Amino acid sequence: MGLANYAVIDHSGQWSILHDGNVEGKYDTKEAAFEAAVTAASLAIRQGHEVHVSAPGHEAGNRTALGAATN
């Protein structure tokens, strides 16, 4: 089996998941994107893939812990 790599990224002012070179989904918070990535990673594990999931620290996005917009 192959490697399933999921990276939470700041994309056009929202959070998305980079998977297999494709940017997928639009999430308001980094946490929501991470939860979606972990759900997909769980399915990949069941299929026998090696899985990597990553998310940036507070330095990314708008510099809050969860990456939510501050008003």
Residue matched to tokens 């997928």: 24
- The tokens for 31 are 């946490």
Mean pLDDT of 53-71: 75
With a cut of 80, say whether residue 9 has pLDDT above it: yes
Per-residue confidence (pLDDT) for residue 59, from 0 to 100: 76
pLDDT at 37: 98
Q: Are the beta carbons of 17 and 25 closer than 8 angstroms?
A: yes
Name the residue among 12, 10, 28 with its Cα closest to residue 68: 28
pLDDT tens, residue by residue, 27-45: 999 999 999 999 999 999 9
Read off the amino acid at residue 23.
Answer: V
